[in-house]
Amino acid sequence: MRPIRIALTKGRLEKRTVKLFESIGFDCKQLINKGRRLILPVESYEVVLAKAADVITYVENGVCDIGIVGKDTIAEYGHSFYEVLDLGFGKCRFALAGKKGVDFWSGYNAKCIATKYPNIARQFFEKKGMDVKVIKIEGSVELAPLLGLTDAIVDIVETGATLKENGLEIIEEIMPISARVIVNMASMKLRKNEIENLLLDIEVAKEVGI
Ligand code: PRP
């Protein structure tokens, strides 16, 4: 049988996860000195480095058993897996934001929203019974209202510095976000013990504090 595979979101969550693994006592040398390699051994596990949305794809399809990914990506891309643990890091929030001092809610015209997360944005406005036009932007979403493309954005806010430095402000908070552990549904049954052992290690390390 192949080793248990963990799909890990590259970037910020990767760094925090390495710390978490080290506090469990895992040898992360290969993961830290990975060079351009994408599959790294960590103890008896295989760690796969991937973009957030791809972590979900690999776990949903069972080629990875476990995933570490932000709640933002989970909320946007799907639910065909078990979400088993909140890691408590990677904390930020989804918010609706627009130009400072502009009343977003006034007027009767249909609003236009820029976002990297069209499903989150649509659901948010559907709940309010508002019809909006959503435009998908791949990065630096804050540019869209500044350039006059949209009335507002739905995006991740962490420190709030990006909004502030660009003359934008939060109109309404949408939901809190943090890193989560997800598990493939079949793996949870077929490799229950191995997965439960890893989850237990993570929970203990989390409680001790990382
Ligand atoms: C995210 C998000 C905001 C920024 C918020 O972008 O889209 O732009 O971080 O962080 P802050 O509240 O601490 O300023 P990211 O840095 O991931 O880059 P991207 O815009 O290219 O996706």
Beta bridge partners of residue 7, listed in sequence order: 48, 67
How far apart are the CA of 97 and the centre of ligand 1, in A? 13
Class of domain 92-175: alpha beta
| pLDDT at position 209 | 65
Whole-number average pLDDT of the chain: 96
- Which class for 39: exposed (0-12), middle (13-18), buried (19 or more C-beta within 10 A)? exposed
Dist CA 188 CA 194 (whole Å): 9
Whole-angstrom CA distances from 60 to 79, 83, 124, 194 are: 8, 11, 25, 18
Residue 27's pLDDT is 97
The Cα 52–Cα 33 span in angstroms is: 21
Nearest residue to 75 via CA among 88, 51, 93: 93
pLDDT (mean) for 150-169? 98
Residue with tokens 């690999």: 58
Going by pLDDT thresholds of 50, 70 and 90, the confidence category of residue 206 is confident
Cβ 208 under 6 angstroms from ligand 1? no
145 contacts 104 by C-beta, under 8 angstroms: no
For residue 206, the CA-to-ligand 1 centroid distance in Å is: 26
Domain segments of the chain as ranges: 5-90+178-208, 92-175
How far is ligand 1, taken at its centre, from the CA of residue 161, in Å?
9
Distance 88 CA to ligand 1 centre (A): 19
pTM of the model: 0.93
Per-residue confidence band for 208, with pLDDT thresholds at 50, 70 and 90: confident
Beta-ladder partners of 45: 42
Q: pLDDT digit string (tens) for 44-63?
A: 999 999 999 999 999 999 99
Is the CB of residue 35 less than 8 Å from the CB of residue 18?
Answer: no
| CB-ligand 1 contact for 155 (6 Å cutoff) | yes
How many C-beta neighbours within 10 Å does residue 199 have?
15
User: Hey, CA dihedral for 181, 187, 189, 190, is it positive or negative?
Assistant: negative
| Reported confidence tier of residue 32, pLDDT bands at 50, 70, 90 | very high
Percent of the chain residues topping a pLDDT of 70: 99
How far from chain centre, in Å, is Cα 185? 20
> Going by CA atoms, what residue is nearest to atom 16 of ligand 1?
140
Is ligand 1 within 6 A of the CB of residue 156? yes
Domain 5-90+178-208 coded CATH 2.170.130.30? no
158 lines ligand 1 (CB under 6 A): yes
CB of 68 shorter than 6 A to ligand 1: no
